[in-house]
Structure 1
Amino acid sequence: MGILTDYFSAADDAQAGSAARTGPSSPDPLTNQPVFPTVELKGIDPFVVLGTLAGLLTDRPYAEAKTDPRHGSLVATAGDEGPWVVAVTDALVTALAATTPTALDAVAVRWAATEELEGSDPADLADALRRLSELCVRADDAGHRLYCWTSL
């Protein structure tokens, strides 16, 4: 089946942690709208694949990009077997929010050529990057941070 990954924005770690059990796209009981702005990106794990993206967007080696203390750091869990909420680095959010659609298309081609995404369609990755970038813009405008809800 693979890993499920929903990227979402929240004001802080405590608020993001509340999504551990139900997921970020669960509806608010009062409004029936998702509690958090969310983008579903199946197979884009917040550890290696997103670290590779961070390296590509910031022109830093993957080994350096993953040293950011927020890179994949555990925010909350619903138990030993998940689901989990992990942080996404502020540097990646800033980079995605500032990158033009044309530049995202070029990054998608480079990203598709990485070992982790070998065989992926660059057009599909470009679409994922545009959706993630839009989420980053909204998060940045609201002063929020980005998180990933992940489950096996």
Structure 2
Amino acid sequence: MGIRTEYFVAATDEVAATALHAPGGPSEPDLRTDQPRFDSVAVPAVDPFVMLGGLAGVLSGRPYAEVTAHPRHGALVGSGGDEGPWIVTVAQTLVDELASAGPTRLAQAAREWSGTTTPAVPPQALVTALLSLGALAVRAADERHGMYCWTSLTD
């Protein structure tokens, strides 16, 4: 069993929680408009707790325990119960760091981050993930919205 993660942008925690009503996740098209419900990126297996905590530590230079102690690091805003899906927050400090880092810094961070993941994730896979997350963070900043992660279990 694995996890599926989709990071997305929403104006508030309450709006983000409405992604629970989309069985396919925040990128599922709205039936009325045929457009995705939220601006989102799928980032396979980058969980919003441990892996994102490691990334926050790499980008900020702060210890893992400090970044994961942030009250908005992985705070639950919506739950589909024991079987999920779940929606959690991404700390605004990490969103700001992602948005301001730029592609060169994100690629460097991916190489550093790769050495801290368990199991090890190839640096190139993390570069792709970080560039997507960075672009989403820029859009979140432009809209003055928060970033969230929709997570579900997979077979």
TM-score (norm 2): 0.94
How many Å separate the matches in 1 of 2:137 and 2:5? 16
Give the superposed CA RMSD: 1.0
Q: Number of paired residues? A: 151
Please list the CA deviations of residues 41-73 of structure 1 after superposition, one character each: whole Å capped at 9, or x if unmatched. 111000000001001111100000001101011
Please list the CA deviations of residues 120-139 of structure 1 after superposition, one character each: whole Å capped at 9, or x if unmatched. 22112111100110000000
Amino acid at match of 1:81: E
CA contact (8 A) 1:17 1:85 kept: yes
* Equivalent residue number for residue 129 of structure 2: 128
CA contact (8 A) 1:88 1:147 kept: yes
- Offset of residue 140 of structure 1: 0.5
* Equivalent residue number for residue 55 of structure 1: 57
How many Å separate the matches in 2 of 1:104 and 1:54? 12
* Equivalent residue number for residue 24 of structure 1: 26
TM-score (norm 1): 0.96
Unaligned runs of at least 5 residues, structure 1: none
Identity within the alignment, % = 51
Please list the CA deviations of residues 90-109 of structure 1 after superposition, one character each: whole Å capped at 9, or x if unmatched. 00000000002111111111
Runs of 4+ displaced beyond 6 Å: none
- Offset of residue 30 of structure 1: 2.0
CA contact (8 A) 2:76 2:86 kept: yes
CA contact (8 A) 1:111 1:117 kept: no
CA contact (8 A) 2:26 2:37 kept: yes
How many Å separate the matches in 2 of 1:43 and 1:60? 23
Unaligned runs of at least 5 residues, structure 2: none
